[in-house]
Every structure is written in structure tokens, then in C-alpha cells.
A and B are shown apart, each in its own frame.
Chain A
Amino acid sequence: MNFLVNYFSGLGKSTLNRVNGVGAASIMLYGALFAFPQWKNIRLTISQIYIVGVQSLLIVMVSGLFIGMVMALQGYTILVNYGAEGSLGPMVALSILRELGPVVTALLFAGRAGSALTAEIGLMKATEQLSSLEMMAIDPLRRVVSPRFWAGIISLPMLTLIFSAIGILGGHLVGVDWLGVDAGSYWSIMQATVEWEKDVVNGIIKSAVFALVIVWIALYKGYSCIPTSEGISQATTQTVVYSSLAILGLDFILTALMFGI
């Protein structure tokens, strides 16, 4: 009997904890989203765009180049069997614009920027900087969380666009300059196939959704971590794992909504 009571109380406790977590995360999201209109915070946001966006630029550009190049190489070896290597352009462009661009950039962003955000906020909490801010009557949501939040949401779609453009140029580098696909057909069939709203804008929408989820998870995990060195390391790991899974899961749902029947 005692065993049964213990079981149910454990179940109830974990459920309550989870609901509490969701609630706290939602309150944080609300606070961060609606703290933006303060114009004095714009400088803080810009310096966060530098840390979150500009510093992720190199890894995103290099990955974009190599993914475009490898897509062209793999696509060419298959398409050439059917004499359809002219379709290399749309294949590279569509797969990068619709899927690889948003997803790979978001995964890189979660690893490069999301983990750093969690560790930073977690250490601020561990060294009681957040409590000190509150003591000085400064809302840490407004001063610390909100600029990072908006910086992430602004940066990731831009990084995705850069990734896609460089990936398509990388595909051109391998497909046209190395393997000898006709440059005219690479661009013209691509232009005939790719559509602005359906392919490019949907990719941007995807990456904006991913950005929201990544920074939300990263900031919440940092804000709510156990303020010890072990707690921070755990929170950082959880940020990367949860946001990667969320990206892949959401990608399927968004793709089904955008391109499904």
C-alpha cells in the first residue's frame, strides 16, 4: 500500500514539476518578447547580434559551402546515369532552400550559440549576478534575457539566407566549374523551378521558428539551471540535445504543413 502511494506521489511530483517548468518558460518567453520596444535596449541587442550572429558566420559559411559542394557531387553521380545532369541546379537549390539550409544552420546555431547562451546565463545565475540586478531594481528579463532572445531571432534567418546562397554557389563550383555541367542549364532550370514564396520564404519562416525554439530553450535552461558547475554543464548539454530534437521534429511538422497535400 505504501509502495502504491509512493508511486503515485512520485508521478504527481514529476508532472507538477514539468507543468511548472512549462509555465515558467512561458512567462519568461512572454517577458522577453514584450520587453523589446524599449529603445535603450537596442544597443544591447546589437552587441548580442554580434556575439550570436556575426561570430557564427564563419562556421555557417564554411558548412554551407561544403554542403553545397557535396550535394552537387552526389547529385551529379546519380543524375548523370539518366543523362539528367542539367537538373543538378534545381536539385541543389531546392534541397538547400527547403531543408538543408534551415535545418543545418539551426543545428549549428544550437551548438555554437545556444550552448554559449545557456552557459553564460547559467554562470550569471551561479555567481548571483542576476540576483544583484534584481537588487538594483533592474529586471534581468529585460536587461539580460530579452536582448539575447531578439538577437537570436534576428540572426538565424539571416544566417540561413547566407548559408543557402553560399551553398548554391558551392554547388555551382563543383557542378559547373569542376564536373562540367552547363552553366546556362544550372541557372535557368533552377530559375524555372524555384519559387520565391513557396521555397525561399517558407525556408525563412522555418528558420524563424527554429530560432524562437532554440533561444527559448537555451535561455530557459540557463535561467532555471541548478547554480553549480555540474548544473551548468547539465543545462548546456540539455540545451543542445533538446533544441536539436525540437528542430528535427518541428521541421517535419512545418514541412508537412508547407509542402504536404
Chain B
Amino acid sequence: MTTRKTETLVGLFVALAIAATMLLALRVVNQGMAGNSETFTVKARFDNIGGLKPRSSVKVGGVVVGRVERIYLHKTDLVPIVELQISTEYANTFPDTSSLSILTSGLLGEQFIGLLPGFIFPEDLVRIEEDKVCETTSLNNCPYLTEGEEVFDTKSALILEDLIGQILFKQGSE
């Protein structure tokens, strides 16, 4: 029966298309952190962001923990503000004394934000244990990075022209 054969072949065609979609979805496309997982937002101000772009990754020791959500200029201070989205998997993990620096992967690679975890004072550890400051609704006293918090310890991107300028200035003064 010809119609049956036709329908079977069309079915195989559709199956092939689905297989191609699966290959693209599973092997080719950016996985994880694709916006599905829940995140919390952290702000940071830099002097110079260099070539950082939205969707650049935030890494801790090479492990991706979040992405850059938005970059904009502070209206009065005129410095760039970077909003980071960090996966809730890492909520109450990084102390608020952590520092952020803009790094480059390889010599010509893309720029990303490196997060260097800070430390927690022993008395804060006691507060977490006894006062449960990270479980209340107002997280202001929580010594970990939480929703809406600003990171103050930041290092800007390395600008090659500034670096060369500094070397020349140093040599000129000697």
C-alpha cells in the first residue's frame, strides 16, 4: 500500500528531524545556567570593565557559578555597575568579603568575572549558628552574599594601554 509507505517515510523524516533537534539541544547548545535555574542578584561597581559583556560567566576557581545579567553606568558616580546573577545553589556560600576581578581566559580569549571567596569572622559564625541571621526575611546582617547585595572589593579589567603608560612613566622617572 503506497499511502502506508509514504506515511512511514514521513514518520521517519519527522523522527530524523527530532533527532537533529536533540543533537543540537544536548550537544551543541549552552547547557546549565540557561535561565531555567533560579538565581539571586549581586551588584558590583568597577572602575573599568574592559570587554566584559552581558552573559559573560562568573567563575570561582574556573567553575561557572553565574552570569553577568546587566551592565550600566551609575548616573551620578559615572562608574560602571555590573549586575551578576548567581545560582541559588550557591546561596549562603560566598562571604560578603569576597572580591571580584575581571579576568581574561587565555591571551585573546573572552573576559569573565573571577570571584575570590573571602573569609568569615569567627563571631559571625557564632551569629549564624545562634541568631540564624541568614534565615530571617531581612538578610542585612547575613555575612554571606545575598539578593541585592553590593560587592565592594573589585579589581578592574587590565587595560593594555594603561599598563604600557605606567611602564613608560616609571622608566622616565628613573
Contacts and interface: CB of A to CB of B under 8 A. Distances in A.
Interface in B118-165: none
A31 B125 CA distance: 72
Contacts of B13: 49-50, 53-54, 57, 155, 158
A100 interface: no
Nearest to A53: B13
Given A46-B7, A46-B10, A196 B30 contact: yes
A93 B55 CA distance: 19
A161 B24 contact: yes
Interface string B103-117: 000001000000000
Interface residues of B, number: 25
A128 interface: no
A158 B28 contact: no
Given A191-B28, A196-B25, A162 B108 contact: no
Contacts of A49: 10, 13
Interface in B3-61: 3, 6-7, 9-10, 12-14, 16-17, 19-21, 23-25, 27-31, 34, 55, 57
Interface string A152-175: 000100110110111011000000
Contacts of A190: 28
Nearest to A90: B28
B3 A54 contact: no
A200 B16 contact: no
A15 B56 CA distance: 53
Given A46-B10, A49-B13, A50-B6, A161 B28 contact: no
A195 interface: yes
Contacts of A168: 23-24, 28
A190 B21 CA distance: 16
B9 A54 contact: yes
A4 interface: no
8 contacts: A47-B3, A50-B9, A54-B12, A97-B28, A158-B20, A169-B23, A191-B29, A200-B24
Interface of B: 3, 6-7, 9-10, 12-14, 16-17, 19-21, 23-25, 27-31, 34, 55, 57, 108
